[in-house]
Amino acid sequence: MEALSRLLRALRQRLWSGPGAPWPRPPARGCSGGSDYRELCARAAREPGPFWGALARQTLLWDTPHHTDCEGDFARGRVRWFLGGRLNVAANCLDRHAQHSPNRVALIWEKDEPGTEERVTYRELLEMTCRLANTLKKNGIKKGDRVAIYMPVCPLAVAAMLACARIGAVHTVVFAGFSGESLAGRISDAECKAVITCNQGVRGGRVIELKKTVDEAVENCPSVKCVFVAQRTANKVHMGSRDILLEEEMAKEASVCPPEIMDSEDMLFMLYTSGSTGKPKGIVHSQAGYLLYVALTHKHVFDYKQGDVFGCVADIGWITGHSYIVYGPLCNGGTTVLFESTPIYPDPGRYWETVQRLRINQFYCAPTALRLLLKHGDEYVKKYDRSSLTALGSVGEPINREAWQWFYSVVGEERCTLVDTWWQTETGGICVAPRPSEKGAEIVPAIAMRPFYGITPVLMDEKGKVIEDNNVSGALCIAQPWPGMARTIYGDHQRFIEAYFKTYPGYYFTGDGAYRTEEGYYQITGRMDDVLNISGHRLGTAEIEDAMDEHPAVPETAVVGYPHDIKGEGAFAFIVLRDDTAHPEIVSKEVKAIVASKIAKYAVPDHILVVKRLPKTRSGKIMRRLLRGIVTGNICDLGDITTLDDPSVITEILDTYEKYKAQHPTL
Ligand code: WTA
């Protein structure tokens, strides 16, 4: 209670300046950041500690202010921000706004059926969060415990995240499209004590059996003591001994719950993401640095103003949902849309009908959806009023020129700022985007362009040396720590160091390649490792191969990416059969089913080609580079093949591929 009254005291004394004015001069509309972009960038690079330290004091509501801005470096792979500082993230996102503007709308839940949206005010969201927090506490969840959230996009999912933050528990949201086995893997790795889910989900008019999937998942997860089940539909589902009806329990609880005061560096959440090797890794984000970074990027990249309706149509199961549906907008006291449906339900006009009905000001989506929608023609866009829009954003994968132009011209009527934002689960928030910038500065189509304040991108050459010139490509690294960056991989700090800080000692390596233009702008060229980006979702080729290898008739597999019209990238699998008697078509079908059940439907390869053998080095390593060359049509440029065990394998696979291609003209 003492902590709560201290927080309230701080609120009354208005020790925080609110989300209004973290920068020295308020930016002009349409060009966030104002004319001092260069100066702020220079200051942030020169003195990152004091730069972010001052912003942290101004932007966030603290129980105890921090005494040390930043500690650690990339050389050791350990960085900590705002040491000595104590705060509660949920109090920052809810209490301070609920106190001043209780009736301001925090969430607009755009439910699957158009026209059935529901609004949740800050007071209501605070109350919902407190009741949920008290329910967790009553069931034995304490500070530091991990809680899995497997829910569709809905207010209770946001309340669940914030309830964890309120009591100091660590949430791990698992995208509700992942299979039971994927969910189980994450629950086991994180040793979650509880799971929060819904009886069913509804998406694109279809019912999704969420509780059933959770039942399958927790069967082999002894750490799970209870499963909280919210009711998204009126249908009854099986309830077992550890299952608890969430809303019923919440109704019995008090609507007030004192926030647990956390250290800046305590864990806020973890989110599993794919790497180039092994199982998905639990990327850990901490409290203060993450919150500060997402609030500031949300405000300055999109030029978000009080009263705007922010429409990020991602799923909360990905980092985009965490940072720009939940934490960034709510920390800024904004109104944020929760989009439960799909871009084509009930028809391909859904996004723009939603923009018109909810009067959305900033609209943030993935290029894969744009590529799909532009194929349906402009009429679906033009019949709706989009005059509320001021900014458009793109995220998750490279945006091709055609999609950029369509978004800018047709959707945005050439009057909205279009920001192509580059970032990663690991970076916490947007790192490179056209805005903020100097006033009136140009935007180059389909280029992410400028670093955010305090982000210091560098390109590395093949020898690991920093490239100083412009007009060059290299491995994209970041030279200095920033508050929003991930702190570790849950339970495996060594893997964190190896994945991000070993390749280029002293630098954070993103895994992406980039091109720096003549003017010094950054264009992301794509992953340099064995990570695929399918419809903006990350997937390791090794993950898919591991799943396919489970088929008893398939001793060897190799997965590579190939360009896909809509998805950006698709998975192409090569498999070898154990013996000639196995029927290729049946095996392919079974392999696809295995991938869907072990990972998720979107991970299923579009194509599976049976080959006699795979190209290998003399030491037995599969040369995926050659397979990629074949499916991307770059056979003239296969590079060094001197290490190949038997070069005739290339013509052999190429022949098989050509025959397959003749039967699949879309390839
Ligand atoms: C890719 C998503 C090009 C990139 C926020 C990165 C992009 C990976 C862009 C991270 C962009 C993200 N242009 N590529 N604007 N944004 N990427 O962790 O390869 O799901 O490394 O985070 O997506 O994916 P993640």
514-562 pLDDT per residue, tens: 999 999 999 999 999 999 999 999 999 999 999 999 999 999 999 999 9
Distance CA 560, CA 161 (A): 35
What pLDDT, on a 0 to 100 scale, did the predictor assign at position 665? 83
Closest-CA residue to 522 (of 576, 437, 450, 571): 450
| pLDDT, average across residues 315-331 | 98
Distance CA 40, CA 177 (A): 41
Strand order across the 281-286 sheet: 243-245, 226-230, 194-198, 146-150, 170-173, 267-273, 281-286, 488-489
User: C-alpha angle 130/288/536, rounded to 5°?
Assistant: 90
Q: pLDDT tens across 37-51, in order?
A: 999 999 999 999 999
What pLDDT, on a 0 to 100 scale, did the predictor assign at position 667? 83
CA trace torsion 476, 428, 34, 459 (10° rounding): -10
What pLDDT, on a 0 to 100 scale, did the predictor assign at position 645? 86
pLDDT band at 80 (very low <50, low <70, confident <90, very high): very high
CA 58 to chain centre: 27
Q: pLDDT tens across 263-280, in order?
A: 999 999 999 999 888 899
Say yes or no to pLDDT of 69 above 90: yes
Mutation choice for ligand 1 from 452, 524, 527, CB with most ligand atoms inside 8 A? 524
Give strand pairing partners of 362. Answer: 310, 391
Name the residue with the closest Cα to ligand 1, atom 5.
424
* 165, containing H or E segment: helix 155-167
Distance CA 390, CA 236 (A): 43
C-alpha of residue 369 to centroid of ligand 1, in Å: 15
Name the residue with the closest Cα to ligand 1, atom 10.
424
Q: What is the DSSP letter of 23?
A: S
* Cβ contacts of 662 within 8 Å, gap of 6 or more: none
What pLDDT, on a 0 to 100 scale, did the predictor assign at position 35? 55
Tokens of 467: 């490239």
- Where on the phi/psi map is residue 212: left (φ > 0), alpha (ψ -120 to 50), or beta? alpha
Name the residue with the closest Cα to ligand 1, atom 13.
398
Lining ligand 1 with CB less than 6 A are 273, 318-320, 395-398, 420-425, 448, 510-512, 524, 527, 533, 538
Q: Which amino acid is at 14?
A: R
| pLDDT, average across residues 582-605 | 95
CA 384 to chain centre: 29
pLDDT band at 366 (very low <50, low <70, confident <90, very high): very high
C-alpha of residue 572 to centroid of ligand 1, in Å: 20
Name the residue with the closest Cα to ligand 1, atom 3.
398
Dihedral sign from CA coordinates of 496, 499, 500, 501: positive
Q: Tokens 């040793």 belong to which residue?
A: 191
What pLDDT, on a 0 to 100 scale, did the predictor assign at position 636? 75
- Please give the model's pTM, rounded to 2 decimal places: 0.93
C-alpha of residue 423 to centroid of ligand 1, in Å: 5
C-alpha of residue 375 to centroid of ligand 1, in Å: 23
Tokens of 21: 């004015």
C-alpha of residue 283 to centroid of ligand 1, in Å: 15
Say yes or no to pLDDT of 12 above 50: no
Name the residue with the closest Cα to ligand 1, atom 11.
422
Among the atoms of ligand 1, which is closest to the Cα of residue 524? 3
Q: pLDDT tens across 280-294, in order?
A: 999 999 999 999 999
pLDDT band at 320 (very low <50, low <70, confident <90, very high): very high
What pLDDT, on a 0 to 100 scale, did the predictor assign at position 433? 98
Percent of the chain at pLDDT above 90?
89
What pLDDT, on a 0 to 100 scale, did the predictor assign at position 152? 97
pLDDT band at 582 (very low <50, low <70, confident <90, very high): confident
Dihedral sign from CA coordinates of 333, 335, 341, 342: negative
| pLDDT, average across residues 466-489 | 98
What pLDDT, on a 0 to 100 scale, did the predictor assign at position 278? 81
Q: pLDDT tens across 211-240, in order?
A: 999 999 999 999 999 999 999 999 999 999
Residue 405 burial by Cβ neighbours in a 10 Å radius (0-12, 13-18, 19+) = middle
Q: What is the DSSP letter of 95?
A: I
C-alpha of residue 415 to centroid of ligand 1, in Å: 26
What pLDDT, on a 0 to 100 scale, did the predictor assign at position 356? 98
Phi, psi of 381, rounded to the nearest 5 degrees? -90, -50
Distance CA 620, CA 443 (A): 48
C-alpha of residue 252 to centroid of ligand 1, in Å: 43
Among the atoms of ligand 1, which is closest to the Cα of residue 448? 15
| pLDDT, average across residues 301-317 | 98
Q: Tokens 């080729």 belong to which residue?
A: 541
The number of beta carbons lying within 10 Å of the beta carbon of residue 666 is 8
